[in-house]
C-alpha cells in the first residue's frame, strides 16, 4: 500500500512560512502585490481568479484586479499589461487564460516583464528553465509544487527514470525540465506516444498531466514507484451529492496498491499550485 503524499498538509505548512515572510515585507513598508487580469465572462476563469485573490488576501498580500469585458481588443489588453509592467507597486502579473477568441495569447504572455512573470510561462523564463545552468526568474507554480511533493518523499531523484505523461507548456514540459535539472533521466510521453504503458512500467517517478480520467492504471506501474497525479477531471456520478465526482488521471484503486508513494486527487498537487504562486509574488516583492 502506497504512502499518501498529503499535498494539503504540505501546502499548509508552506503557507504558514509565507504568511511570516509577507508580514516581514509589510513591516518594511512593502506590500507584496499580485495583479490579475481577467478578460471576458468565462465563469471558470473568474473562479480561478477569485481563489487566487482569496489566498493572497488571507496571507496579507495586495491585489490589483483588472477586468476587461467581451468588447476588449488585443490593443486594450496589451495597454493594461504594459501599465502593470510600468507600475512599481505591482510585483507580479498574472493574465488568466483563456483570452477572447482571436487574441494572441503568446504575445500577451511574452509582454509581461520577465521579472513580474510570476506564472513563469513567458518565453524568457521558459528559455532560462530549459537552459542548463541558468535560473529563471520564477518557476511555474504547478511544476514547482510537484518538485516539492517529490522532495517530501525523501527519495533522491538523481539517476532515476522519470516518465511524464503530457507535454503542455504549463505542466508537462516544465516539470520534465525540472526533473532533468534534478538529474533524473526523463521521458516525455504524449497523445502520439505509441505505447505509454511500456514507458511507465520502467519509471521510478511518474507524473501524469494528461487531463484524461483514470488513464493510468496500477498494471502500468513499476512496484514502489512515485506517482504524482496532476489531473483534475469531473466525471458524472448520479450517486454523488453533486451529481459528479473529481478523479485524477490515475486510477486510484489499482495504483495505490502498486506505487510506493502517490498523490491523491483532490488534495495532492492542487493545493500546492496557488501556494507556489504566492511564493513567487513574495520572491518578486523581496527583490
Ligand atoms: P493539456 O490539455 O494542455 O495537455 C494535456 C497533455 O496530455 C498533452 O500534451 C497531450 O498530448 C497529453 N495527452 C492527452 N491524452 C493523452 C494520452 N491518452 N496519452 C498520453 N498523453 C496524453 O493539459 P494541462 O493543462 O497540462 O493539464 C493536464 C491536467 O492537469 C488537466 O486535468 C488539468 O485540469 C490538470 N491541472 C491541474 C493543476 C493543479 O493545480 N492541480 C494545474 C494545471 C493542470
125-148 mean pLDDT? 97
Ligand 1 binding pocket (C-beta < 6 A) is 142, 165-168, 170-172, 189-191, 193, 196, 209-212, 215, 230-233, 269-270, 273
Atom number in ligand 1 closest to CA 209: 28
pLDDT of 203: 98
Model confidence at 283, in pLDDT bands (50, 70, 90)?
very high
The count of residues in the chain is: 287
CA of 157 to the centre of ligand 1 (A): 23
Model confidence at 138, in pLDDT bands (50, 70, 90)?
very high
Which protein residue's CA is at the shortest distance from atom 8 of ligand 1? Answer: 166
pLDDT of 190: 98
DSSP secondary structure string for all residues of 75-116? HHHHHHHHHHHH-TT--EEEEPSP--TT--HHHHHHHS-GGG
Distance CA 199, CA 98 (A): 32
Largest CA distance in the chain: 56
Which protein residue's CA is at the shortest distance from atom 5 of ligand 1? Answer: 210
CA of 209 to the centre of ligand 1 (A): 4
Fill in the DSSP letter of residue 2: P
Give percent of the chain above pLDDT 90: 100
Distance CA 108, CA 212 (A): 28
Fill in the DSSP letter of residue 205: E
Which protein residue's CA is at the shortest distance from atom 41 of ligand 1? Answer: 270
Residue from 193, 199, 230 to probe ligand 1 pocket by mutation (most atoms less than 8 Å from CB):
230
pLDDT of 183: 97
Residue from 191, 192, 194 to probe ligand 1 pocket by mutation (most atoms less than 8 Å from CB):
191
Atom number in ligand 1 closest to CA 210: 7
Q: What is the mean pLDDT of the chain?
A: 97
Domains and CATH numbers, the chain: 28-113 (3.40.50.10860), 140-270 (3.40.50.720)
pLDDT of 166: 98
| Among the listed residues 150, 105, 205, the one whose alpha carbon sits nearest the alpha carbon of residue 7 | 150
Distance CA 126, CA 67 (A): 26
Cα distances from 202 to residues 2, 149, 219, 232, 243, in angstroms, run 17, 21, 12, 25, 37
In this structure, are residues 42 and 98 in contact, taking their beta carbons and an 8 Å threshold? yes
Model confidence at 260, in pLDDT bands (50, 70, 90)?
very high
pTM over 0.85: yes
Fill in the DSSP letter of residue 189: E
Report residue 37 as a C-alpha cell.
487580469
Model confidence at 131, in pLDDT bands (50, 70, 90)?
very high
Please list the active-site residues.
52, 96, 119
Model confidence at 234, in pLDDT bands (50, 70, 90)?
very high
Cα distances from 228 to residues 58, 110, 113, 211, in angstroms, run 28, 29, 31, 13
Atom number in ligand 1 closest to CA 190: 21
Q: Residue 165: enclosing H or E segment and its boundaries?
A: strand 161-165
pLDDT of 79: 98
pLDDT of 257: 98
pLDDT of 153: 98
Residue from 209, 213, 214 to probe ligand 1 pocket by mutation (most atoms less than 8 Å from CB):
209
Give percent of the chain above pLDDT 70: 100
Atom number in ligand 1 closest to CA 215: 18
Model confidence at 228, in pLDDT bands (50, 70, 90)?
very high
| Among the listed residues 274, 286, 251, 229, the one whose alpha carbon sits nearest the alpha carbon of residue 47 | 274
77-81 mean pLDDT? 98
pLDDT of 143: 98
CA of 220 to the centre of ligand 1 (A): 18
Atom number in ligand 1 closest to CA 269: 41
Amino acid at each position: 500500500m502506497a504512502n499518501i503524499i498529503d499535498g494539503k498538509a504540505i501546502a499548509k505548512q508552506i503557507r504558514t512560512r509565507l504568511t511570516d515572510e509577507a508580514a516581514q515585507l509589510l513591516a518594511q513598508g512593502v506590500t507584496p502585490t499580485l495583479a490579475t487580469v481577467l478578460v471576458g465572462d468565462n465563469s471558470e476563469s473568474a473562479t480561478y481568479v477569485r481563489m487566487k485573490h482569496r489566498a493572497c488576501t488571507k496571507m496579507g498580500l495586495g491585489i490589483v484586479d483588472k477586468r476587461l469585458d467581451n468588447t476588449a481588443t488585443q490593443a486594450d489588453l496589451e495597454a493594461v499589461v504594459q501599465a502593470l509592467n510600468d507600475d512599481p507597486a505591482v510585483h507580479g502579473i498574472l493574465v488568466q487564460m483563456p483570452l477572447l477568441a482571436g487574441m494572441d495569447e503568446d504575445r500577451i504572455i511574452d509582454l509581461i516583464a520577465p521579472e513580474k512573470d510570476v506564472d513563469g510561462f513567458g518565453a524568457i523564463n521558459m528559455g532560462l528553465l530549459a537552459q542548463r545552468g541558468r535560473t529563471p526568474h520564477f518557476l511555474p507554480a504547478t511544476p514547482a509544487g510537484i518538485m516539492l511533493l517529490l522532495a517530501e518523499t525523501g527519495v533522491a531523484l538523481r539517476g532515476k527514470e522519470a516518465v511524464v505523461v503530457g507535454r503542455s507548456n504549463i505542466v508537462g514540459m516544465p516539470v520534465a525540465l525540472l526533473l532533468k535539472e534534478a538529474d533524473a533521466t526523463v521521458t516525455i510521453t504524449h497523445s502520439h506516444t505509441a505505447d505509454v504503458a511500456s514507458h511507465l512500467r520502467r519509471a521510478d517517478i511518474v507524473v501524469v498531466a494528461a487531463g484524461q480520467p483514470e488513464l493510468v492504471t496500477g498494471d502500468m506501474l513499476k512496484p514502489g514507484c512515485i506517482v504524482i497525479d496532476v489531473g483534475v477531471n469531473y466525471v458524472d456520478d448520479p450517486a454523488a451529492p453533486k451529481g459528479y465526482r473529481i478523479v485524477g488521471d490515475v486510477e486510484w484503486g489499482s495504483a495505490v496498491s502498486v506505487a510506493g508513494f502517490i498523490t491523491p486527487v483532490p488534495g495532492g498537487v492542487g493545493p500546492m499550485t496557488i501556494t507556489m504562486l504566492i511564493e513567487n509574488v513574495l520572491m518578486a516583492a523581496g527583490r
